[in-house]
Structure 1
């Protein structure tokens, strides 16, 4: 059984940041400090029938800080449920994020290196197999597969939205048909960048050029994690214990997730993990 003793957690996520330039639909966050929190709590008490309490009546005139967040569940690192791709998977109702089995979202991960792949390129079935062969690894049902593109280095810039390769339909189905239920990427999207898909469609008006990896999920059942980070901080490429549980949003197509890998701490040092967390502000 896996033990949390003598392991270092490595954060593989990007957080929800207000007005992030790397998000097409950035989150909005309204912050309430402790003084404002005291006034709000006093208002809550008044609404509950307790009159006379003012913000200044709280210790030091301070209440509880809080925030109001307006964001789509595809902001920051998130897990897309089968419902995101279509209403059915192979003729059966597609699962929403609250219906995704937790067993799908934890296990050993395999990290495939596509940092060499050209921007806008499509990752093929053959390239998936070549990377697995380079690792001398055969996939097992229940493993998670993460696609490392290096695009997370561009987080915080507009280029993050377009400078990455994406998965193809055949490559996606190939993984799922081997028992993989969760595939992640450190890029903005799982498919190729929007403009590249649009260009390819315009060349021949071929509908298969539009979100092919996503729409593969109408044939095979899987989840994808987008906007991961720090895959380069992992000391190995296979047999990496991870948890990727999504936040439950009832009936939704996605949920925010904070993937965490657990790396054996052989020398007692946590420097690598600390560096990884610093890379995204400990998001």
Structure 2
């Protein structure tokens, strides 16, 4: 069984989305301090992490967009784990329904949009004129029963304006969104299985995941 990492590593101070603070990673209990609690030769460290939910590679639940939407606690595991994948190779900036034409049966599958934009991760270019899904294409994916939609770009929506139609359409349909993917070039068009489950956090709409794919034999 081959596993492929599809996530960005989280590090202190890193930038995920313009305007959002980077994570703070520190120590709550150091190895040295733990000596006061354990016998000689036994030591532990406990780290403290402070960050916004939209850090690194993360999942958006309906509660990210809708006040009465399903949050991470209640998001079905079946919509996040062991999903069959359909990888769409996209080269246009605005991904329209025509760009999704090659894919056929997507019901119950994670549709992963491979744009190659992850090559700009960690640079100013990552947030500039990035590939995104149009409202019409989001509607097509919702109507055809996608279980999850992911992209290896800064946002599933275009950032030129303030509207977020792809989020609005997909999250209204209960379809989780997975953003800031990487490594999609290592996946086949079909056949891989996606895992991208965040912690079950009550009242939280988005959180980081260690997304990965299991490749077919």
- State the TM-score, normalized to the length of structure 1: 0.69
Query: Secondary structure in 2 aligned to 1:262?
Result: strand
Structure 1 distance, partners of 2:202, 2:149, is 22
69, 75, 84: which one aligns with 1:108: 84
Post-superposition CA distance 1:149-173 (Å, at most 9, x none): 1121122223222352111122112
Alignment of 1:5-44 (within 5 A): 7-23=1-17, 24-31=20-27, 33-38=30-35, 42=37
161, 168, 175: which one aligns with 1:197: 161
CA RMSD in angstroms comes to: 2.0
Contact 2:151 2:178 in 1 (8 A): yes
Contact 1:84 1:254 in 2 (8 A): yes
Query: Secondary structure in 1 aligned to 2:126?
Result: helix
Deviating more after overlay: 23-32 vs 164-173 = 23-32
Query: Secondary structure in 1 aligned to 2:119?
Result: helix
**Structure with the bigger percentage of helix:** 1
Contact 2:120 2:126 in 1 (8 A): yes
Task: Please name the residue that 1:256 is paired with.
Answer: 208
After TM superposition, give the deviation of residue 85 of structure 1 in Å. 1.6
Any gaps of 5 or more consecutive residues in structure 1? 1-6, 43-56, 88-92, 133-137, 199-209, 266-283
Q: Is 1:228 the equivalent of 2:181?
A: yes
After TM superposition, give the deviation of residue 25 of structure 1 in Å. 2.0
Deviating more after overlay: 180-189 vs 256-265 = 256-265
Task: Please name the residue that 2:140 is paired with.
Answer: 174
**Structure with the bigger percentage of strand:** 2
- State the TM-score, normalized to the length of structure 2: 0.89
61, 66, 69: which one aligns with 2:46: 66
**Runs of 4+ with deviation above 6 angstroms:** none
Post-superposition CA distance 1:180-230 (Å, at most 9, x none): 1210111121111x3x225xxxxxxxxxxx112112246422110011110
